[in-house]
Structure formats: C-alpha cells, structure tokens
Structure 1
C-alpha cells in the first residue's frame, strides 16, 4: 500500500490522460469504492483516509466525467441553486459551500442569483429553471416573496428548500440570546435592536429571539429599527432618528448593518464602546477590522451550504440523509463592547 507521505502524481506518459477514480485510489492508497463513497458525500470515512483522498484528488486534478456518467445512468448530474443576489454575504457564502460539496460528490452546481425585491425576476428565473434538465434544485430562500413563488412551481425533481425558519431557527435563537446575555453580563439594561426586513424569516426569527432574551433578562427594550441587511440601511436607520434612544447597547441582526450603525453613532457624537456598545451576527471577514473591531457571533455558512447539498443528493440518490449537527453560537468578543456608562 502506498505510504501517506509518498508523493502524489502520475507518470510522465500519463500526463495527457484524464484521471480516473482508480488513479485517485492508487495515489491515495485506498480502494476505488472508498473514492466513490467520498465523491458521493458519504460521511463514514475516517479523517486520515479522507485527507489522503483529498490530496490525491487535488494532485491529480481529478474531474468527474459527468457527460459519461449521465449517458450511462440516464440522468443528469447538474444541480440548480437558486438564491439571493450575490451582494448578500450569507447567501453567497452558503452557495460557495454548496458548490464545493456538489463538486466533491460528482455534481455540477449551477448558481442562479436573483433580486429578491423583484417578483418578476423571481418568476422568470424559476420558469427558466423548470425548463432545464437538472437532477435537483437547491433553493436558499428567506424572503416571503421567494417562498411564495417557489410554492407555485413543480420542478419534477427533488427540491431542497433551505430557510432559516426551517433549518437555522436554532442559530437565530442561540446567537441573539448569547449576544444579549453577553451584554447583560457587562451590565447593560437598555438595548436597541437593528432588525432585518420584516419580509425575511431570518429577520423575524432574530427579532423574536431578541425580544425573548431581553424579557428573560429583565432588560428594557428601547425599540426596533429595520434595515435591509446592508451597511447603508444600518447607517440610515440611526442617522435619520430625530432623537437617539437612551440604549447603552445596539444588537444588530447582521454585521453589515452593525457597521453602518457604528458610523452613524460616531457621527452623532457617541463613542464606541464608551458611550454605546454594538454587536452583530455572522462574523464576516471584515468584522475584525471595523473601528472598533466588532463583537459578533460566528455563522458556519460553508457548513450550511455543504449540508444542504448533501441532503439534496441523498434525496436524488434515494440514500439515507446525512446527520445534521445542531448549529451552535460562538460569540467572538472584540472591542465594540464594554461596561455601560451610568444611566442618568
């Protein structure tokens, strides 16, 4: 058997021949059945074996012959992923994880980004998808408009619907609860919530979690402001207030709105965190470089996308669905929070 440290690759006379799973199996020192199970997303492979297979796939630049597979099996190996416009951090990163998992399982993921504010754009995209030969459809949907449109379409193939209301409600609850508890432990007793658009299930879930957590801790709710998940909307929500509430902390439903709110608060003469603390949700890569760096809750977007595709492929292939680990909340504490100033 090939040792794990042995160099991976093919002989010079094989340089032009596309790699097969047998080449990958030989390079990784495993059976071709193990490689096949890995490509189908099977979870019961030992970590060290999985690592050898990944190294072999990368070294040999393995690309599944989807055309041959489709002709042999009589079915497509394309998956359509229907989601929000790419400017939204969460959906785009979920799509990245979904694409990687599909590729590892021998499928191609076709991404379709749409404007959630345009019912016509949603309907046109759905009509286009319904005419294509896909093995399945993954829909990452959080807006009521998108969910309503999806309910009217029969794709004729398995559909995996991913919404925070269905699969991430526990994340909203644990994330917002953890943030409120963190602020309460610092001594905050008056908080303001920066919520997402009411037509999104994720926004409603996070607002509900905020209201439940503040009531549980006996914290005064200084109100709810609504944005559209963008930094600009967070900025405007604070900048356009006639009078700032006396809250000592702002709980934003995502990091981008927190960023906008922080700038507006500073322009109105408040220091962060000396006068007011700000927290967000998602831990986007830029959160550590806000001024000051943002306390937030890490969201496993990549894992969410990968799990969604694995669940869909299990339905396509009539296999047992993978086990989903409950989503926890990891608070990343940075310098945007502090003990609140005395309330007059």
Structure 2
C-alpha cells in the first residue's frame, strides 16, 4: 500500500495505520484526556509517519468554534500593550486557544472595521481590542454588532466588556507617597494627550493634590519615550521649587533621571522621582526606581476569561473590571531637602 499524499491524509488513514477507530484519532487530535498510554502513542506515531495535520476548518464547522481569539492592536511599542499581548497569548494557550494578531496603523473608523473584516475572514471566535486612545468613545466609531468583544484600556462605559489597570488609584498611591514624605507638591510628566491611561493618571494626580490643598504645578507633556522624559527632566531641573516628580511611565522616568543627573540635581537628595509600570529594569535604574506596579498577567488573564465567557457560555458582562495596582517603593524617593528624617 502506497503512502497517501500529505495533503490528502485523512483521519481514517491515521486510524487504519494505528489500528484504532477514527473517534480515537479525533480524541487524540483534540487533546482529550480519555486516551492514554500506548494507544495515544500509537496514534501520535501514525500522525507523524503520515504527516497528518488535523483539519481545523472541518472541526470548526462541526463544533461551531475555531478556538482562535483575534487581537486588534494599535501599537506594540508601549510597555503596557506588549506585556498585555504576551499575557493574553499565554492564557489563551492554557485554555487551548490560539491568537491571531491584526495591527492597526491608524485608529480610525475604517481601519477598525477593516480589522474586524480581516479577522472575520481568518475565522476567529471573539476579539480582544487593545487600545490606548479614545477610539470607542468617538461617536463616529461603532464596533460591528454580534461580535464577541473585550476591550483593554478604554472608557467604553457599559457598551462592552472592559478590562483595565486601576490607573487612577495607581496615580493616587504615587502622589500620596510623595506628599507623605513631606513634599509640598508634586510635579507631573504626562503621557500622550490621546492616551486614556495617561489622562486617567494625570487627572488622579491633579485630584490628589487638590484634595490635599496643595498647589497643582503645570504638567509637562511626554510621549512615553525616554527622550521625551529627558526633555521634561531638563525643564524640571530649572525649577528650584521642584522636589518631587510623578512620571506617567518608567521609560520617561529614565529620561528624567538622566536629565536631573546631568544638571546636578541628585535623586533623591534634591528631587524624588516616581514612575508607573514597574518594568523589569526599573529596579536596576540608578537609583532603583520607585514605581507603580501594573499586573499585566492578571489583565491578560481577565481578558481571556471575559472573551471565553462570551464564546463558550454566551455570558456578556458590560462595564469595566479594574485590576489593582501596588506601589513598589525603592530608593528614588526620600523626604525633601531640609526635611531628612
């Protein structure tokens, strides 16, 4: 008997070679735990010998599921997006799902609808949208109906299932920490104006100072990059009353640290600096950076759980689920000059 061509190998061919039923082959192909020991090994060996590839399309037609989650992403350059995507991929794989990534260069109505159309062609069961802009808040942008959707980092109110870090509480923790150290006020370096996370952090910074009866200095604007933080740091170095800075992410905080160092402003002896994200390198900055820790793994897990509840059980939970943050205190913060305790 000649070996079937790889492109025409069927489940029946594998079953015949392994000496089992087609149902057993199907169970092995789908990772069913009921097939164990030598039988599983026989089937796997037959699959390998025949170069058999399970027909996922046929399986999807039978089950009604493709076991694939689409991810629409506007940028991979930010720490939050890249680490959230990694967490989504990890947790999806643990649940037996693959992900299909569709990057969108420009966050417009046409580009978003185009991404959904493309994901429809690729056959996905649901979509996770990772966004840092107010796209879903714009009246001109509406996601297609009858699509299972979870949104990350957006103020979507009750229209979609939203998972986000508790941006506001993280910022409050950062500012409160600096005030409790004795600083009269706290300066702020923001992220991009169009970023929802940046706006939430900036608003919480402002509200915390106002609630404490402190002066609110004019914010300095960055774009998440270390270079923009460096420019802001040069400006802050020229402010004699600046003894504490809350920076909207760790990359910009790195630039602030460099600028202050170059201008002879010691951290934390002259100026205390707090970041946001707790990137893996934050503890290796000079000095090690006090920063707000985001649990990206938990954000990813909740995104996958949320989309699977919609896909597998038809459950849709509108509103926002906030993942808590925590302040990691290191040696970039201290009481202000003249108030060493």
TM-score (norm 2): 0.75
Q: CA deviation at 1:178?
A: 0.9
2:134 equivalent to 1:144: yes
Residue among 75, 82, 93 paired with 2:83: 93
In the TM superposition, structure 1's runs of 4+ consecutive aligned residues that sit over 6 Å from their partners are 117-121
Residue of structure 2 in register with 1:157 after alignment: 147
Instruction: Please give the residue correspondences for 1:1-344 in structure 2 after superposition, counting only pairs within 5 Å.
Output: 20-22=31-33, 66-67=56-57, 69-115=59-105, 125-145=115-135, 148=138, 151-154=141-144, 156-165=146-155, 167=162, 171-239=166-234, 243-244=238-239, 246-320=241-315, 326-342=322-338
Question: How many residues were matched structurally?
Answer: 294
Q: CA deviation at 1:280?
A: 0.8
Q: Deviations over 1:80-101 (max 9, x none)?
A: 1012322211011111111122
Q: CA deviation at 1:169?
A: 6.8
Q: CA deviation at 1:68?
A: 5.6
Q: CA deviation at 1:104?
A: 2.0
Q: Which has the larger radius of gyration?
A: 2
Change (3 A) 1:179 1:125: same
Change (3 A) 1:238 1:126: farther
TM-score (norm 1): 0.74
Residue of structure 2 in register with 1:6 after alignment: none
Output the CA distance in 2 between the equivalents of 1:168 and 1:245: 40
Output the CA distance in 2 between the equivalents of 1:305 and 1:331: 20
Change (3 A) 1:72 1:121: closer
Which blocks of at least 5 consecutive residues in structure 2 are unaligned? 1-24, 38-52, 157-161
Q: CA deviation at 1:182?
A: 0.9
Change (3 A) 1:213 1:169: farther
Output the CA distance in 1 between the equivalents of 2:80 and 2:140: 20
- Equivalent pair of 1:116/1:145 in contact (CA under 8 Å): no
